[in-house]
Structure formats: structure tokens, C-alpha cells
Structure 1
């Protein structure tokens, strides 16, 4: 299993357009990027690849990192920074199976699968498969399981990707607060690599109108506002899940420059073989 982190940033990415903060300037000077979220997972045994989420930066990411076009994909939720790149597959692939949860979102009245199928009805190559959260599906030689996480007001999912032949396991938290249900945690547990949402350091909770939530024993918030983990929350989740290795993603340019590129914060283009 070869994992490439195509996009490791939040909604605006780093550098952010029109921003001259120290972190964005440092990213430009160092030639580092955090584009909008996407992960490419190649099965070297079968020669197939799976894409997790369709970043608006799809075209640029694939050209930059030279990864293969996906044979199948997963959509975790319908926020634009995870979905709006799907239109980029027009005329690029003859057929593409997209897996997305089939449970109805009370907020939208549709499931993620229904929203994807409706919004991208013009893509003849697209075949959307509605999946049941917590039930694995086999695709690209992997067992892929979507798990409910906590990203109000919309439903959102993390996922576990396992190679049944080698036992390699990748877990992705998805966009979420620290309040991930126990059933989901059980599926995500014991990964070789955890890719976890960590939008800002915990001390930034004082600037959010909703503050922070899910304080640890040390009183430090593990959730920023209501729907993303702090860096400290993501690291606590990694410990909870017994992750062998952890990369923090969905990072905002609000990280102070002296912290923005420290381990284990990821940047685009990182590659891991599990």
C-alpha cells in the first residue's frame, strides 16, 4: 500500500491566496504547500489506486505528484473542499466507481451518495455506490470501511483502508471533532498510519466564538469550536487508537510560523509505503 498525501490543507490552503502572514510567506519561501484535502492510495499488488476525496486542486495535485488516475474513489462528505474536484475526471477516465455513505443526512435530506450522484449527474463515467457505514466494501484489492465521525452540521465519515493480503492499514479521521463514536474508533484502531484532522493548535480556541471542547485531563481542548480537532486533540486520538505513525492534515495557515512546519504536521506530496 503506497499512500500519497496529495492535499494536507484546510479550506483555503497554505499559502492562502492574498495572505502575507508569516506562515504563508514561509511556505512560499520554502516551496511548501498544503492544498485542499485528498489522499491517493495505490495497491502495488493489483496495479489499482483509490482516491479519498476530490480536492478542488485535483488537476494540479495529480500533475505535481505524478500519481495514477484512480480506479475507484471515496467521498467522505459534501463540503466543497472535499468534493468539488470531482468534475476534473471529465474525459480523464472511462469509468469510475465512487463510494459514499447511503444514510440520509437530516440537514440536507439526502445521503452523501445521493448528493454526489445528483450534483455530478453529467459525468457518464461515474457510478456511485451507496455504502453502509461500518460495513466494509472491497475495492482496488482493499477492504474500505466508512465510519461516522462528528463534523456538524453535516454527516461526515472517516475511513479505514486495509490490505487483506499484507495486513497493512491506513486510517483517516475525516473532518471531525474529537467526539468520534466508540464504534468508529474500534474500526480505526491500530493503524500503521493515521491521517488526522488537526486544524489549529489548542491555544487558538480562545479566538473561536464557540471556544474549545472535549478538554483532556490537562484541561487542553481537543476540539476547536465544534467540528475540527486541535493539534492536541489529533495527537490524543492517535494515542487512543494506538497508531504506529501519525500525520496531521487539514492544517490552517493560522499555525504560528514557528509551529507550522514541525512534526508531525504534514505537507503535500509526502509518501508512505505500508
Structure 2
């Protein structure tokens, strides 16, 4: 299983358009970037590719990293930076199965699957496959399990991707606070590679209107506001999941420049063979 990090940034990416902060300036000087979130998984055994989330930067990411077009996709939630690239399949793919959770979101009155189907009804080459969280689906020869996470006010999911023959495992937290349910943690546990949402360092919680949450014994916030983990929260979760390797993703340009490119913060284009 070959994993390519197509997009490792948050909703504005790094560099952010129109921003000349130290971190965006450093990214330009280094020639690195963090576009909107997306992960590409290749199954060498079946010669198939799975895409996790459709970044608005889909076209650019695939041209830049020269990975195969997807045979199937998973959508974790309906925020635009994870979904709005789906329109790029028009006149590019002949057909595409898109897997998304079938649970009704009390906020919208529809499931992620229903929202994707309705919003992209004009794409007759897309087939939306409603998928039950915590039940494993075989997709592109890989075992994929959606898991509920906490990203209020909308439902959101992480996922585990496992090769049934080699046992190699990729876990993705999705956009979430540190309060990942125990049943979801059990599915995500023991990955060879964990991609964990870590939007900012905990030191920046003082700038959020809601501050930080889920403090550890030393008072360090593991959640920034209510929707995303801090760097410290993501690393704490990684330790609890016993991840063999961790890369932090969904990163904002608010990281101080001196910290923004330190390990284990990811940048676009990284590849891992599991």
C-alpha cells in the first residue's frame, strides 16, 4: 500500500492566498506547500487507487504528484475543503464509486452520502455508496472502516484502511477534537501510519474565542476550540493508539514559522509504503 499525502493543509492552505505572515513567507522560500486535505492510497496488488476526500485542489494535486486517478473515493464529511473537488471528475473519469456515511446528521437532516448525492446529482459518472460506520467495506482490495469522530456541528468520520493480505494499516483521524469515541479509537488503533488532525499548537488556544478543551494533567489543551486537535492533542492520541509512525495534517498557517516545518508536521507530496 502506497500512501501519498496530496493535501496536508486546512481550509485556506499554506501559503494562504494574500498572506505574507512569516510562515507563509517561509513556505514560499522553501518551495513547500500544504494544499487542502486529501490522501491517495494505491493498492499495488490490484492496481487500484483510493482517494480519501476530494480537495478543491484536486486538479493541481494530481498534476503535481503524478499519482493515478482514483478508482473509488471516500468522503469523510461535507465541509467544502474535503468535498468540493468532486466536480473535477467531470470529463476526467468514466465512473467513480464514492463511499460516504449513511447516518443522518441531525443538523442537516441528511447523511453525508445523501448530501454528496444531492449536491452532485449532475455527475452521472459518480455512484454514491451509502456506508455504515464501524462496518468494514472492501474497496479497491482494501478493508476500509469509517469511524465517527467529533467535529461539531456536523457529523464527521475518520477511517482505517487495512490490506487484508499484508496487514498493513493506515489510520486517519479525520477532522476531530481530541474526544474521539472509544469504539472509534479501537478501530484506529495500532496503525503503521497515523494521519492526525493537528490544526495548531496548543499555545494558540488563547486566541480562540472558546479557548482550548480536553486539557491534560499539565493543563495543556488537546483540542483547539471544539473542532480540531492541537498538535499536543494529536500526539497524545497517537501515543494512545500506539501508532508506529505519525504525520500531523490539516495544518493551519498559524503555526509559528520556527515550528511550522518541524517533525512530525507533514507537507504535501510525502509518500509512504506500508
Q: What TM-score does the superposition give when structure 1 sets the normalisation length? A: 1.00
| 2:66 alignment counterpart | 66
| 1:147 alignment counterpart | 147
| 2:248 alignment counterpart | 248
Could you tell me how far apart the structure 1 residues matched to 2:226 and 2:211 are?
8
Could you tell me how far apart the structure 1 residues matched to 2:199 and 2:55 are?
17
Map 1:71-150 onto structure 2 (within 5 A): 71-150=71-150
Say yes or no: does 1:218 pair with 2:218.
yes
Could you tell me how far apart the structure 2 residues matched to 1:11 and 1:260 are?
16
Map 1:49-64 onto structure 2 (within 5 A): 49-64=49-64
| 1:266 alignment counterpart | 266
Three-state SS of the structure 2 residue aligned to 1:149 is strand
The CA deviation at 1:218 is 1.4
Three-state SS of the structure 1 residue aligned to 2:150 is coil
| 1:39 alignment counterpart | 39
Structure 2 unaligned residues grouped into runs of 5+: none
Once the two structures are superposed, residues 104-157 of structure 1 have per-residue CA deviations (whole angstroms, 9 ceiling, x without a partner) of 000000000000000001111100000110000001000000000000000000
| 2:161 alignment counterpart | 161
| 2:18 alignment counterpart | 18
The CA deviation at 1:217 is 1.4
CA RMSD of aligned residues (A): 0.3
| 2:198 alignment counterpart | 198
Once the two structures are superposed, residues 178-210 of structure 1 have per-residue CA deviations (whole angstroms, 9 ceiling, x without a partner) of 000000000000000000000000010001010
Once the two structures are superposed, residues 36-56 of structure 1 have per-residue CA deviations (whole angstroms, 9 ceiling, x without a partner) of 000000000100000000000
Could you tell me how far apart the structure 1 residues matched to 2:97 and 2:254 are?
36
The CA deviation at 1:247 is 0.2
The CA deviation at 1:13 is 0.2
Could you tell me how far apart the structure 2 residues matched to 1:89 and 1:29 are?
33
Q: What TM-score does the superposition give when structure 2 sets the normalisation length? A: 1.00
Q: How many corresponding residue pairs?
A: 274
Could you tell me how far apart the structure 2 residues matched to 1:17 and 1:145 are?
35
| 1:170 alignment counterpart | 170
Three-state SS of the structure 2 residue aligned to 1:156 is strand
Could you tell me how far apart the structure 1 residues matched to 2:86 and 2:250 are?
19
Runs of at least 4 residues off by over 3 Å: none
